[in-house]
Structure formats: C-alpha cells, structure tokens
Amino acid sequence: MESSDWISVIAIVVSLLSFGFAWWKFAKNAQSEKERELLNCAIDALEKAYFALTGGSSEKPPKPDRLNWLTAARRIEFYKEIKKNIKSETFKTICEAEEEHWRHKFSLILDSFSNEDRSYYEEKKHEKGSIGLSFKHAAIDSTSAIVVHHFESWPKDKECILKSVDVDNLLKETNYFSGRIGLTEYLKTVPRLKKVVDKFF
C-alpha cells in the first residue's frame, strides 16, 4: 500500500473516531439533560405536595380538607415514580437531599398529630346561620393519610449521614467551641466526648 493510501486510511479512522467521540458526547449531554429535567420534576412534585396539603399556610395541623390530602398524596406518589428513573449518582444524591428537606417540612407541619384524635380525619357536619343550614366536610381518605404520614417519617432502612461524622476530629480541627461555654459544658456531659472536650477546651 502506497503512502497516500495509508494517509487516506488514517484520515478515515480519525474521522470515524472524531464522529464517534462527538456522538458519545452528544448522547452523554442529552442523558444528563434528561436526568436534570427529572430531578427538577421530582423537586417540583414535592413542593406541590406540600403546598396542596397546607394551602401555603403554616397552620398546625393543616385544615382537614379531603381534596388537599388526596392531592398531596398523589404528588408524593408521583415523586416516587420520577425518582425511580433518576440513574445518575450525582442527581440521586441531590434528590435524596431535597427529599430530606421536604420530609422535614412535612414533619414540622404535622408534628401536632401526636395529640390529635381521630375526629380530625372523620367526616364533620356543621350548622351555619340562624336557619340551621348544614354542610359537611368529607372524611380524609385513609390511603392519602397513610401516604402523607409515611413520607414525613424517617425511613427505617435509611442510614443517618451523621453516623459517619468523625466528631472527635471536628473538635480537634477548630477553636470554635472554646468560646461557647454553655455548649462546651453540655458536651462534657456526653460520656464519649468528655475526654476530648477536656483535652482541647
């Protein structure tokens, strides 16, 4: 094969490699964009679930509105379906962080339920006006109640990230705690931290 032929072959190979790399980069970017869109939809679903339940109010507990609970539960289930399709480890991590954020917000708005009786969930009949006009509030759908309360609780199989924190090392690396007497004295009451606190503060 003459040198000119080799040059042609090499040029073809280089062109194919360039095309292959360009296509790979395009496909990777397209997948990343798809994952980003899924993440945005997942976060949006949680935001809408919370707004549906609360109506934008900080009232505790939220109004016992059947439709609000149904809508919130549906958005939570929608979120779960979207989450299953997120494959990128980076976006999975972000999604988990957002889920924890919204779980906390749900927990705060529902924390008074430990003292609530079943009447909150049951159908209510009210009398209105001098003529005794009556109207009803429908009972909270049982499935929606389970879905919402399940979401606000910490998953049994989820490891708390704080368990992996090297607390001793954090105390050694900073003098932040030395000027905070109350905190320092409190840490000394924790058996596993007393020696470290005594040594550095």
Query: Is 188's pLDDT higher than 80?
Result: yes
The percentage of residues in the chain with a pLDDT greater than 90, rounded to a whole number, is: 36
Q: What is the pLDDT of residues 117-142, one digit of tens each?
A: 788 888 876 656 555 555 567 899 99
Are 49 and 130 in the same domain?
yes
* Residues 179-186, mean pLDDT to the nearest whole number: 80
Q: What is the pLDDT of residues 11-38, one digit of tens each?
A: 666 666 665 655 555 455 556 788 899 9
DSSP string, 24-44: HHHHHHHHHHHHHHHHHHHHH
Are 141 and 193 in the same domain?
no
Are 156 and 169 in the same domain?
no
124-128 vs 133-137, strand pairing mode? antiparallel
Are 140 and 199 in the same domain?
no
Residue type, 56: G
Are 141 and 90 in the same domain?
yes
Are 109 and 156 in the same domain?
yes
Q: How high is the pLDDT of residue 134?
A: 54
pTM: 0.72
